[in-house]
Structure 1
C-alpha cells in the first residue's frame, strides 16, 4: 500500500498542498480500496475511469495498479467538478503517479458524452459521486457505451442507504448484457430487521396480480437478488443487443 494511504488511514488525516494535515472524510475505506485493487488485478485494465475524486483516496488505489501494470500515460480518467483544495493532485504527485491520471474538473454530463464521441474505450469504471438517481443512471448510460466487453462497472454507496444509487444497481442487474460479478461490505442488519424484511418479502410475493397492478416493479428484495452490499461490481458480458421494445421491471 502507498505511504500516503497508510498515513491517511493511521491518522485519519491527509496532507494538503500547504503541508498541513487536514481531517479525512468522504473517502473510500481501506478494505474497499483493497477490494478495488483485487478487481483491477482480475480485469487488468489498460484504461479506466472514475466519477468522483474528493481527496483522491480511491484514485490512489487505482493509480498504484496502473503503475504496477506499466500502463500508458493518462490511463486513468477522473471526473470531478470541485477541486477539494487540490489535495488529491498534491498526493498523487507526491506518490509519483501524476503521469497516469487525467483529472477533468467538470460535471460528468459534460465529460462522458465527449469521451463517447471521441471513441475513448475503457475496461474499468468506478462511480462514487452524487446519489441522485437520474444523474448516476446517466453516468452509467455513457459508461456502458465506452466500456469494453469483459470490463466492469463498480457502484459505491449501494445497499439501500442511498435509494437513488440502489435503483441504478437494480436496473443494471436486470440488463441482459451485464452480470453481478462481485460485492463488498454486506449490509449489517439486526436480527429484528432481517426477520422484518423476510416477512415483508414473503408477504409481497403472496399478493395476487401484483405484476398487473404495478408492472414496472420487481418485487424481489435486494437480499434475494444479492444486492445488499455497499459496493457492487457488474461485468459487461456482451454488447447491448436489446431490441427497441425491451423492458424489464427492476
Structure 2
C-alpha cells in the first residue's frame, strides 16, 4: 500500500468536519513538496485531526512540530491518527497558541524547512503566524498557507507578494494552497511599504462564504 492510500485508509475525521479538513489532494501537494525537496524540519500551526500532519510526516519521516491549543476539543483524534500511522515518535505537539509557542521556538534558535499555516483564520492571526514563520524559516524553505479562498488569507498572501521580494510565489495545482519559498533575506528600508489591498478573488470568496453560510464578511 502506498503512502497516500495508507493515510486515506487510516485517518479518521468526524463526518461533520470533513469539509473543513485539509483535502487529500492538498495533502498530496504537501507530501510531494516535502519529499521532492528533501525537507526534514517541519512546523505546522493548527493540527486538528492530523490530516496535513500525516502527509507531511509520511514524506519527511522526521520530527514534526505541531501547534494546537484545542487538541482536547478534537478529543485528541489527531494524536491518535498519527500514532495509528506509526509516526507518533516523531510528533512534537505544543498544546498552546502559536503566538506564544513560535516566539519560544525562535528564542530556542529553532529553524525549519517547511512551515504550514492553518490555525487562526482571521487576518491578524494569520499575519502574526507569518511574522514568526518568516523568522523561523531557513533559506530555501517554504511557507504554505491553507484556505487561500478566504479574504483574510488572500490579504496576507498579497502582502507577501507586494512587499517581500525575498519570497518567491510557487504556483501549485491546488488553488486552496499558497506556497512561498524563501529566496533571500529581508532587506527592506525601514520606511518601505507597498499597498497590498486587492480585489482579486473577492467574488470567489463571497460565493464560498455564501455556500458555508458565513454571514460576517
- Is the shorter-chain TM-score for this pair beyond 0.5, marking a shared fold? yes
SS of residue in 2 equivalent to 1:140: helix
TM-score, normalisation: structure 1: 0.71
SS of residue in 1 equivalent to 2:161: helix
Distance 2:161 2:173 in 1: 16
8 Å CA contact 2:147–2:177 kept in 1: the answer is: yes
8 Å CA contact 1:178–1:238 kept in 2: the answer is: yes
Q: How many residues align?
A: 189
* Match in the other structure for 2:12: 14
Distance 1:131 1:59 in 2: 18
Larger relative contact order, structure 1 or 2 (CA cutoff 8 Å, min sep 6)? 1
Does 2:177 correspond to 1:179? Answer: no
Distance 1:48 1:103 in 2: 12
Partner of residue 70 from structure 2, selected from 77, 82, 86: 82
User: Which string of whole-angstrom CA distances, capped at 9 and with x for unpartnered residues, describes residues 46-71 of structure 1?
Assistant: 2110011111111111110122xxx3
Distance 2:8 2:170 in 1: 28
Q: What is the CA-CA distance between 1:119 and the residue it aligns to?
A: 0.5
Q: Which structure would you say has the larger Rg?
A: 1
* Match in the other structure for 1:54: 48
Q: What is the CA-CA distance between 1:151 and the residue it aligns to?
A: 0.3
Distance 2:145 2:9 in 1: 26
Partner of residue 94 from structure 1, selected from 84, 87, 100: 84
Q: What is the CA-CA distance between 1:132 and the residue it aligns to?
A: 0.5
* Match in the other structure for 2:156: 168
Q: What is the CA-CA distance between 1:145 and the residue it aligns to?
A: 0.4
8 Å CA contact 2:47–2:67 kept in 1: the answer is: yes
8 Å CA contact 1:50–1:127 kept in 2: the answer is: yes
8 Å CA contact 1:43–1:123 kept in 2: the answer is: no
* Match in the other structure for 1:189: none
Q: What is the CA-CA distance between 1:3 and the residue it aligns to?
A: 5.6
SS of residue in 2 equivalent to 1:179: strand
| 1:201-212 mapped onto 2 (5 Å cutoff) | none
After superposition, the Cα gap between the structure-2 partners of 1:37 and 1:145, relative to the gap in structure 1 and judged at 3 Å, is same
Q: What is the CA-CA distance between 1:4 and the residue it aligns to?
A: 5.3
* Match in the other structure for 1:135: 125
User: Which string of whole-angstrom CA distances, capped at 9 and with x for unpartnered residues, describes residues 98-150 of structure 1?
Assistant: 11110101011110111111110101011112211011000000010010010
Which segments of structure 1 move beyond 6 Å, counting only runs of 4 or more?
none
User: Which string of whole-angstrom CA distances, capped at 9 and with x for unpartnered residues, describes residues 163-192 of structure 1?
Assistant: 11110011111211001012333xxxxxxx
Partner of residue 60 from structure 2, selected from 48, 63, 66: 66
CA RMSD after TM alignment: 1.7
* Match in the other structure for 2:145: 155
Partner of residue 176 from structure 2, selected from 230, 236, 246: 230
Gaps of 5+ in 2: 197-217
After superposition, the Cα gap between the structure-2 partners of 1:34 and 1:144, relative to the gap in structure 1 and judged at 3 Å, is same
SS of residue in 1 equivalent to 2:172: strand
